[in-house]
């Protein structure tokens, strides 16, 4: 990336029918602020939504996975705003400066990164078995960033995930298709 004068990358890592790769407003805002890493965020749809959330710990921004957040904490509200205390979802639409990615690679290769234990169904030669997978995510490096930018976007304009099978009531190909059609129907009416 350095040899090709790449300054930053905008990426997404969730099946999202409404993603806007290279959003000029997001990328431009991150670049203007000299951001190490940034994220477009959406408000949680409901407390139990299976998304990681942004939190501040020891003065640093990090992502807490939904499986690692106590259900009572996930449902806690801020009395002054009446919004969820952990309201900003990590929907995996990220911006990274090249310099930050270089530091993140060094951090992770030094063994300082961590793994998340996820209980999941794992394929085996005899069929699926219950097991524990150790997972690491690029957003685990947010905590080493000097400058983090979070930009809240509208769910109905930028986030329609596909996590479940067709016909499921939430986050399925059917709901994503409906979100795309609704977005363009609204745009036509304007």
Q: Say how far apart CA 78 and CA 82 lie, in whole Å.
A: 5
Q: What is the pLDDT of residues 176-185, one digit of tens each?
A: 999 999 998 8
Q: Is the pLDDT of residue 190 over 60?
A: no
Q: Is residue 155 assigned to a domain?
A: yes
Supply the pLDDT for residue 130: 93
> Is 153 found in the same domain as 104?
yes
Q: Say how far apart CA 168 and CA 27 lie, in whole Å.
A: 33
**63 falls in which pLDDT band (50, 70, 90)?**
very high
Q: Is residue 28 assigned to a domain?
A: yes
> Is 57 found in the same domain as 143?
yes
Q: Is the pLDDT of residue 11 over 80?
A: yes
> Is 76 found in the same domain as 99?
yes
Supply the pLDDT for residue 103: 93
Supply the pLDDT for residue 110: 84
- Picking from 88, 111, 103, 110, the residue whose alpha carbon sits closest to that of residue 141 is 103
User: For the chain, what is the mean pLDDT?
Assistant: 91
Burial class (CB in 10 A: 0-12, 13-18, 19+), 79: exposed
Q: What is the pLDDT of residues 121-134, one digit of tens each?
A: 888 999 999 999 88
CATH number at residue 82: 3.90.550.10
> Is 182 found in the same domain as 111?
no
Q: Say how far apart CA 20 and CA 26 lie, in whole Å.
A: 10
**pTM score, whole prediction:** 0.86
Range of the domain at 185: 160-190
Supply the pLDDT for residue 188: 65
Q: Is residue 1 assigned to a domain?
A: no
Task: Report, as an integer, the average pLDDT of 94-103.
Answer: 96
């Amino acid at each position: 990336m350095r040899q090709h004068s790449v300054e930053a990358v905008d990426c997404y890592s969730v099946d999202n029918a409404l993603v806007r790769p290279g959003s000029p407003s997001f990328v431009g805002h991150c670049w203007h602020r000299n951001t190490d890493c940034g994220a477009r965020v959406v408000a949680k749809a409901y407390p139990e939504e299976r998304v990681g959330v942004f939190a501040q710990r020891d003065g640093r921004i990090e992502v807490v996975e939904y499986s690692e957040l106590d259900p009572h904490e996930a449902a806690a509200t801020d009395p002054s705003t009446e919004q969820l205390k952990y309201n900003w979802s990590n929907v995996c639409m990220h911006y990274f400066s090249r310099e930050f990615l270089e530091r993140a690679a060094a951090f992770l290769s030094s063994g300082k990164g961590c793994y998340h234990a996820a209980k999941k169904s794992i394929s085996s030669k005899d069929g699926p078995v219950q097991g524990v997978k150790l997972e690491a995510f690029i957003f685990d490096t947010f905590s080493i960033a000097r400058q983090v930018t979070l930009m809240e976007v509208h769910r109905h304009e930028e986030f329609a995930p596909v996590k479940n099978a067709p016909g499921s009531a939430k986050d399925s190909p059917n709901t994503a298709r409906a979100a795309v059609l609704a977005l363009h129907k609204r745009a036509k009416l304007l």
